[in-house]
Structure 1
Amino acid sequence: MSSLNASSDAVSTNFQKEISDMMHGFGDNPNPNPSTVVLVERIVLRQMRSLLYQAYLVAEARGSSTITNYEVIFVMRRNMLKLKQLCDYQLSLDALDKGIMNASFTEDELILELESKSKPRQRRNHIQIIEELDEINEIKHIKVNPLLEERKLRAVKLAETIPLEMYEAFHKAKCSSFRSGASQKKTYAKLEQWVNPQKELQITNLAMEVVGFIAYETVFELVDSVFKVRQDAGKNHDKLLSKLNGASQNIVHMKPGLAGCSPITEAEIREVVRRYFMPGGGMNGLFSRNMSQELPVRFIAF
């Protein structure tokens, strides 16, 4: 497990270009601060390695040495909204795959492909696992995911404010992810090389798909939280009426991502991380007597 605890500086593979595009797509300046991108990359890498370690412990408890998507989903089982989002993510990928199959093969080629002796592609079963873990069917009762709705609304409002000559770059940035390769055959091979460089862990492709989803959500949560920090810093706490301002209560009313928007700084990312992991956010608060008690493992994405 030494590679899971290794410094990210020693890793040759990196996702700085992809993360820079993601940050732009999530509302950052079109030219994100390079040092901030490196810091975000380091945070995501540590989070994903910690996630894989927790998933490995679950697999080991089940008598297996291979990390599947079951173990990864089990680690994030307490956040129902993220599980609902993962269900929607699978449906989107399945629909995309069907479209790609129709566009990539002619009828004769498709028949030959089906008749070939190659093993069929492994079907995604994220939703099946989530339904198995959701014993009280809580996720089925989530008709509207507020996280996705807020994100869609922000994307629409942001797109309306971007000049036409900047929209193409913004659209490409929104399409960036942790999947790499040709447009129709993207895989998570690069992501696995990034988080598991020494191949110490056996990880299935479906598990890496969920890890890629969580890594993407981690970048989003960091960027989104920076805007909330900026919003909080801009409030006038001395005036009671300032709290009645709708823009000060709803992040949707913000307009990040314009050319005039200052790039996210390292200090803002560090402040976000501090708020996520501050002692007051867990256990017995700032005045805990049991200082030897270990802090619980926390993940920014969920």
Structure 2
Amino acid sequence: MQLRMAAEDSVSLLSEISDIMRSFGDSDKPRLESVKLVEHILQQQLRGMFNEASLVAMRRKNNPCPSQADFEFLMRNHPVKIARMRKHLKDMRILKKFLSIRTGRQDFMEDLDQQDSDDELAIEVPELFDEERTRRLFRADRISQILSGQQYLEFNEARKTSFYCRHGEKIKNKFRRFLDLPADLRIPTTTMNILAYFAHETIAVIVDYAILTRLNSANRITEPFSRVTSTGASPAMLHICPEVTQGRGSEVVKPISVQEIHEGIRRFRQMTNKKVGFYRSTCDTDFKRSFLAL
């Protein structure tokens, strides 16, 4: 009976995760085993990020609930990621105003423009070159050039997939249940929107590392004319994003495998936890749990 109740309470985001993986460079039909692994990693990452932000927020006596400033504190060593998140939230506020003019107030965007943390976010982040975002946009552009009309429509719908504005209140409640947070814990809508953004970024990073792992593996597909482009892309752009020219063209792209995801996560953790010199200990006070989106 308990197992049956647990199965009923469990929430799966396999469909949404599969669409997001496809939008970032996976095949048209991602492997089910890979999607389940990404779902498991995503749940662990989001819970860990929320707990870390909660520990930072508990240092404040007036408002112990995690806010945007707490997540930015965790990202303090990555100004490019902070600027990317701020730009995303700014675009969401613009979208809210636009939709409110056309169709009225949008429930899924409520409280997004709250001003309670303006004093904490008064420091401007300088606009820097975002190499990761450029790589993803260029990859999506290259993929879209080899698709048929119907495939492009499906790819476009996959790129619209979101955990907070697609299907409105339904997907928001589903995402909250997926995080499996305490029911008595009151989380502002702004914090849930930030967690949804981090979910999107986490899947993107997993796909990025899986593709780069494939480039270094033995099953790398290299076509003689794979680097020939008629869109005016410079060789510098191809050097920035070499994976878009590998294994595409007329052949079908292989879906990302579980082994490639495991290897990509291993490389990420080895890179983020690496110390200067030969000494490295997990008992060190500076040792932090690494998060893909932070």
- The 1:90–1:263 alpha-carbon spacing in structure 2 relative to 1, beyond 3 Å, is same
Counterpart of 2:113 in 1: which secondary structure?
coil
Q: Say how many residue pairs are matched.
A: 268
Counterpart of 1:278 in 2: which secondary structure?
helix
Query: Where does residue 279 of structure 2 map in the other structure?
Result: 288
Query: Where does residue 38 of structure 1 map in the other structure?
Result: 36
CA contact (8 A) 1:73 1:130 kept: no
1:106-121 aligned at under 5 Å gives the runs 121=110
- The 1:23–1:129 alpha-carbon spacing in structure 2 relative to 1, beyond 3 Å, is farther
Task: Quote the Cα distance in structure 2 between the aligned partners of 1:155 and 1:301.
Answer: 20
Structure 1 residue 128: deviation in Å?
Answer: 4.1
CA contact (8 A) 1:21 1:176 kept: yes
Q: Can you list the C-alpha shifts for 1:72-108, whole angstroms capped at 9, x where unaligned?
A: 3322232111111112212221222122112214xxx
1:163-242 aligned at under 5 Å gives the runs 163-179=148-164, 182=167, 188-199=172-183, 201-233=185-217
Task: Quote the Cα distance in structure 2 between the aligned partners of 1:247 and 1:152.
Answer: 11
CA contact (8 A) 1:24 1:31 kept: yes
Structure 1 residue 192: deviation in Å?
Answer: 2.0
Structure 1 residue 19: deviation in Å?
Answer: 0.3
CA contact (8 A) 2:31 2:255 kept: yes
CA contact (8 A) 2:110 2:189 kept: no
Counterpart of 2:25 in 1: which secondary structure?
coil
CA contact (8 A) 2:274 2:280 kept: no
Task: Quote the Cα distance in structure 1 between the aligned partners of 2:64 and 2:11.
Answer: 25
Uncovered stretches (5+) of structure 2, i.e. residues with no partner: 1-5, 221-234
Task: Quote the Cα distance in structure 2 between the aligned partners of 1:180 and 1:217.
Answer: 16
Structure 1 residue 268: deviation in Å?
Answer: 0.5
Query: Where does residue 124 of structure 1 map in the other structure?
Result: 113
Structure 1 residue 145: deviation in Å?
Answer: 3.0
CA contact (8 A) 1:180 1:190 kept: no
Query: Where does residue 252 of structure 2 map in the other structure?
Result: 260
Structure 1 residue 222: deviation in Å?
Answer: 0.5
Uncovered stretches (5+) of structure 1, i.e. residues with no partner: 1-7, 111-119, 237-244
State which of 238, 241, 250 in structure 2 corresponds to 1:251.
241
Query: Where does residue 3 of structure 2 map in the other structure?
Result: none
Amino acid at match of 2:44: R
State which of 120, 125, 142 in structure 2 corresponds to 1:157.
142
- The 1:102–1:253 alpha-carbon spacing in structure 2 relative to 1, beyond 3 Å, is same
Task: Quote the Cα distance in structure 2 between the aligned partners of 1:277 and 1:85.
Answer: 22
Counterpart of 2:288 in 1: which secondary structure?
coil
Structure 1 residue 206: deviation in Å?
Answer: 0.5
Structure 1 residue 66: deviation in Å?
Answer: 2.2
TM-score (ref. length: structure 2): 0.78
CA contact (8 A) 2:21 2:207 kept: yes
Query: Where does residue 66 of structure 1 map in the other structure?
Result: 65
CA contact (8 A) 1:16 1:37 kept: yes
Higher helix share: 1
**Higher RCO (C-alpha 8 Å, min separation 6):** 1
Q: Can you list the C-alpha shifts for 1:34-61, whole angstroms capped at 9, x where unaligned?
A: 0100000110110100001111101111
- The 1:197–1:123 alpha-carbon spacing in structure 2 relative to 1, beyond 3 Å, is closer
Deviates more, 1:22-31 or 1:90-99: 90-99
CA contact (8 A) 2:83 2:127 kept: no
Query: Where does residue 240 of structure 1 map in the other structure?
Result: none
Structure 1 residue 159: deviation in Å?
Answer: 0.6
Amino acid at match of 1:36: S
Structure 1 residue 131: deviation in Å?
Answer: 3.9
Structure 1 residue 70: deviation in Å?
Answer: 2.7
Query: Where does residue 232 of structure 2 map in the other structure?
Result: none
CA contact (8 A) 1:188 1:205 kept: no
Task: Quote the Cα distance in structure 1 between the aligned partners of 2:111 and 2:158.
Answer: 29
Structure 1 residue 68: deviation in Å?
Answer: 2.6
Query: Could you tell me the percent identity over the aligned residues?
Result: 22
- The 1:103–1:35 alpha-carbon spacing in structure 2 relative to 1, beyond 3 Å, is same
